[in-house]
Structure 1
Amino acid sequence: MNDLLQSLVKNERQRRLIEKASIIADEARSHVMETDRDAAFSDQTLKVIKQEKYPSLSLPAKYGGEDLSLYEFLLLQETIAEGDGSTALSMGWHLGIMMELSEDNPWKEEAFERLAYEVANEQKVVNRIASEAATGSPTRGGVPETTAVRRNDRYVLSGRKTFASMADHLDYYIVSAYVEDLDNVGWFLVDRHQPGLHVDKTWDTLGMRGTESDDLVLEEVEVSENDLVELKGEVKPSPKGWLLHIPACYLGIAVAARNKSIEFATTFQPNSLDTTISEVGHIRDKVGEMEWKLMQAHSFMYATARKWDEEPEKRSEMGADLAAVKLAVTNTANEVVDLAMRIAGGRGLSKQQPFEKYYRDVRAGLHNPPMDDAVIRMLAGKALDQ
């Protein structure tokens, strides 16, 4: 556990849970060179994730989970991200979705119970697959071009999805589609072994390559009408606390960069100095700047998570708070990694050092929803309306 999290851990349960996350972080860290090179999720890391029963942690206890609080969820996600941001972000989607389905109840009970049973007993992993090239981020309101056409008691799905994190390692896809006979957007639970599904290895990005966010292609995939698990508008939209797994992930990357830069500063001694560079004024200034930035980010994010957990009656009013945390923490994480790179100097650009990967990975946080412009306008509207 990093020293910045020490003061945030409140009890033995949290220490036990963080130990699970630490085991996963260590395993993921050992595979980052290959997952970054191949833009693929590690088979061995997923094996360890399932051995630690991580996928079921956010389920309610009655379904075999641990009833994770949002605060605990963020502690675990930050811990994993310190080992590898791609692993943390990918698994964050799964745990967050389980949390959302448990709390908001958007599915019929029997549909959720069926999935929860498999997650608890077989540690199966799922993700919502919503993004498309033509519509952009689903948070912007685009209607899916993927279609669901009814044929008797079956639906036939056709389309192409982008940003399908862990695409080739998921057990189920929760796919959004335009349901023609209902003139609405729906979500279908699709088994990865269903005929007509295949993954197109398109993921070739600057950072977070290990998320394996390839394209999912559906070519006349037949599913049961019971696999239509959710329709748009059936549940009133509400703030989603679980989405704080996004800033928690990038904060973990920033902490890893901070730790490595301190290690570098306290061990590197050029022959022009009588000491390591940790004694040089501008290096110490950069370390101090990283510290106060990380202190602020941790304080804001975990205080918001505590409010979510301890004052559930206020959750409906917390949309702006959650969005502001994402904006503040992901931007701060980028600033911290930049400072770490400046401490490492030119050596930080080398593939032999971890800094350039932190630098590439942390940039992705700026492109996860909600986007900065949307958050700023939301905050402005709230202030002006008041």
Structure 2
Amino acid sequence: MFVLNEVPLPKLGLTGLEGLMSEEELAIQEVAHRFAEEVMRPIGEKMDKLTAEQAVAEDSPVWEFYDKLHESGIFDLEAIGGMTDEEKARILPIILEEFAWGDAGLTLLAMVTHFAAITAVGTGNAELIERFGHLRGCWIGTQPDRGSDVLDIDKTEAIPGSKHGRGNLIARVDGDELVISGQTSAWVSGAPLAECGLMYTQCDYGDGIYREDGGLHYVGVLVPFDLPGFSRGLPLEKLGLRSLPQGELYFDEVRVPMSYVIAGKEQAYPSFFGSLTFGNMEMSITYTGIARAAYEHALTYVHERKQGGGEIINHQSVRARLFDMFRNVEACRGMAHRAFNYNYGPNGPHLLGSATAKTFVTKTSVDVTSEALQMFGGNGLTKEYPLEKLFRDARAGLITDGENNVLSLKGGTMLSQIYKDKYGLT
């Protein structure tokens, strides 16, 4: 029972119903928020108005973002690597939500830029750290015509008795080298700016690319982009997340030392799902930031916009809808933080936790930004106001880093398998 002598208004922090936060966490939050407000939001707005080619040109504001991100020290890999799992579970979502509140595309770009370097550092291999630890990276998994098959490496969701489609990008082992040929899809995040990539692709180890069950052999490998045979396609024009450059990559018999392989035949599947688990977890807190930004814009607007004889906040229906948005943002944050706590806790990491949060938060983010846009009325549809961009960015989340329906299928299969194992069912 709580005993109160008076009933004050609740105290809300930057992220609403904040509980206990240490002085260090509050300081990190403030620094990340200021960086998001002063650097990321203005640059994200500029990049949203550029063509895809302009967004990666030499005079693009994206280079200012990279410079200021580096100067800020917020994404110091050595400092993050030195954190305990408990610290990562608490501090990473604080930083990422503030960043995404500023701009989601740049947040995702900041993360994917470091994927290859984080992977290299994580191996503890001095050669890989020296080669990749300082390079801008991208995450290569998606291929033309294969779509969500890459999410189903274990082939639990394919039609029984079928084979997965042969990919366009295939590696083969040739002595002490891995030879890569073909192209990625146009959805490789960070590709137009990357100097290397963390690649997961089908691989022929000498016995073909197919497994007995009709699935495909894979390999995980770090690939530098300064090798003969590598080239890029045009950056992708798209609906949302326009501050996250994406594009095709081409490989014409690109030869990579086998020492750059970070996950061979048996380890490629768990390695890929480790990356996907982190990516989905990151998406959940990023899209919490989008939903929060939309809610805060709406909160300001309803206290300024006059309709029906006064500011529209005075209408009961507006207050009820505003509270519904606030509640949904809090639910997003709670789900995202739960995924971080699970993945960095004793039972994680696992895709089930991340996919649960990613699918819920991205869908709820669309609901919140749509409602916020509705509150802006006709103004919400114009590029003069921020909701039009936020809605486009939110909509992309239902597909980015795993299409939600396929992730839900995977999640349902996992839950069934857990149940069957528990009760000895086949």
Band of TM-score, shorter chain: 0.7 to 0.9
Q: Work out whether 1:27 is the aligned partner of 2:39.
A: yes
Q: What residue is the counterpart of 2:320 in the other structure?
A: 285
- Taking the aligned partners of 2:80 and 2:137, their CA distance within structure 1 comes to 17
Q: What residue is the counterpart of 1:109 in the other structure?
A: 125
**1:84 pairs with 79, 86, 103, which one?**
103
Residue segments in structure 2 that go unaligned for 5+ positions in a row: 1-11, 57-61, 154-163, 209-216
Residue segments in structure 1 that go unaligned for 5+ positions in a row: none
Tell me the CA shift for residue 319 of structure 1.
Answer: 3.9
**1:366 pairs with 398, 422, 426, which one?**
398
SS of the aligned residue for 1:131 comes to coil
Tell me the CA shift for residue 269 of structure 1.
Answer: 2.0
Higher-helix-fraction structure: 1
Q: How many equivalent pairs are there?
A: 371
C-alpha contact (below 8 Å) 2:115/2:139 kept by paired residues: no
User: Which region of structure 1 is more displaced relative to structure 2, 14-23 or 84-93?
Assistant: 14-23
Tell me the CA shift for residue 372 of structure 1.
Answer: 3.3
**One-letter amino acid matched to 1:30:** P
> Using a 3 Å threshold, how does the CA distance of structure 1 residues 193 and 332 change in structure 2: closer, same or farther?
same
Q: Work out whether 1:234 is the aligned partner of 2:245.
A: no
Q: What residue is the counterpart of 1:56 in the other structure?
A: 76
> Using a 3 Å threshold, how does the CA distance of structure 1 residues 212 and 301 change in structure 2: closer, same or farther?
same
Q: What residue is the counterpart of 1:139 in the other structure?
A: 151
- Taking the aligned partners of 1:247 and 1:198, their CA distance within structure 2 comes to 32
Q: What residue is the counterpart of 1:178 in the other structure?
A: 202
Q: What residue is the counterpart of 1:187 in the other structure?
A: 220
Q: Work out whether 1:200 is the aligned partner of 2:200.
A: no
SS of the aligned residue for 1:218 comes to strand
User: Which region of structure 1 is more displaced relative to structure 2, 38-47 or 11-20?
Assistant: 11-20
**One-letter amino acid matched to 2:327:** W
- Taking the aligned partners of 1:180 and 1:380, their CA distance within structure 2 comes to 31
Tell me the CA shift for residue 189 of structure 1.
Answer: 1.8
> Using a 3 Å threshold, how does the CA distance of structure 1 residues 294 and 354 change in structure 2: closer, same or farther?
same
SS of the aligned residue for 1:201 comes to strand
C-alpha contact (below 8 Å) 1:326/1:370 kept by paired residues: no
**1:308 pairs with 326, 332, 343, which one?**
343
Tell me the CA shift for residue 278 of structure 1.
Answer: 1.4
Tell me the CA shift for residue 95 of structure 1.
Answer: 5.0
Q: What residue is the counterpart of 1:211 in the other structure?
A: 244
**2:22 pairs with 11, 18, 34, which one?**
11
**One-letter amino acid matched to 2:72:** E
SS of the aligned residue for 2:348 comes to helix
Tell me the CA shift for residue 187 of structure 1.
Answer: 2.6
- Taking the aligned partners of 1:96 and 1:228, their CA distance within structure 2 comes to 15
> Using a 3 Å threshold, how does the CA distance of structure 1 residues 57 and 27 change in structure 2: closer, same or farther?
same
Deviations 1:298-318 (A, max 9, x none): 122213322433x32x116x5
C-alpha contact (below 8 Å) 1:70/1:241 kept by paired residues: no
User: Which region of structure 1 is more displaced relative to structure 2, 173-182 or 339-348?
Assistant: 173-182
Normalized against structure 1, the TM-score is what?
0.84
C-alpha contact (below 8 Å) 2:221/2:263 kept by paired residues: yes
**One-letter amino acid matched to 1:145:** N
> Using a 3 Å threshold, how does the CA distance of structure 1 residues 55 and 216 change in structure 2: closer, same or farther?
farther
- Taking the aligned partners of 2:339 and 2:376, their CA distance within structure 1 comes to 33
C-alpha contact (below 8 Å) 1:144/1:185 kept by paired residues: no
> Using a 3 Å threshold, how does the CA distance of structure 1 residues 356 and 58 change in structure 2: closer, same or farther?
farther
User: Which region of structure 1 is more displaced relative to structure 2, 15-24 or 167-176?
Assistant: 15-24
SS of the aligned residue for 1:198 comes to strand
Q: Work out whether 1:254 is the aligned partner of 2:291.
A: yes
SS of the aligned residue for 2:77 comes to coil
C-alpha contact (below 8 Å) 2:202/2:218 kept by paired residues: yes
- Taking the aligned partners of 2:353 and 2:339, their CA distance within structure 1 comes to 7
> Using a 3 Å threshold, how does the CA distance of structure 1 residues 322 and 97 change in structure 2: closer, same or farther?
farther
Tell me the CA shift for residue 112 of structure 1.
Answer: 4.7
**2:372 pairs with 336, 340, 348, which one?**
340
**One-letter amino acid matched to 1:247:** S
**One-letter amino acid matched to 1:352:** E
Q: Work out whether 1:159 is the aligned partner of 2:182.
A: yes
Q: What residue is the counterpart of 1:148 in the other structure?
A: 171
- Taking the aligned partners of 1:363 and 1:14, their CA distance within structure 2 comes to 30
C-alpha contact (below 8 Å) 2:283/2:358 kept by paired residues: yes
Tell me the CA shift for residue 60 of structure 1.
Answer: 5.8
Q: What residue is the counterpart of 1:265 in the other structure?
A: 302
Deviations 1:62-97 (A, max 9, x none): 6xx897613322221111111111011222334566
Q: What residue is the counterpart of 2:6 in the other structure?
A: none
- Taking the aligned partners of 2:226 and 2:128, their CA distance within structure 1 comes to 20
C-alpha contact (below 8 Å) 1:247/1:365 kept by paired residues: no
Q: Work out whether 1:75 is the aligned partner of 2:94.
A: yes
**One-letter amino acid matched to 1:31:** I
- Taking the aligned partners of 2:19 and 2:51, their CA distance within structure 1 comes to 35
**2:136 pairs with 116, 125, 130, which one?**
125
SS of the aligned residue for 1:179 comes to strand
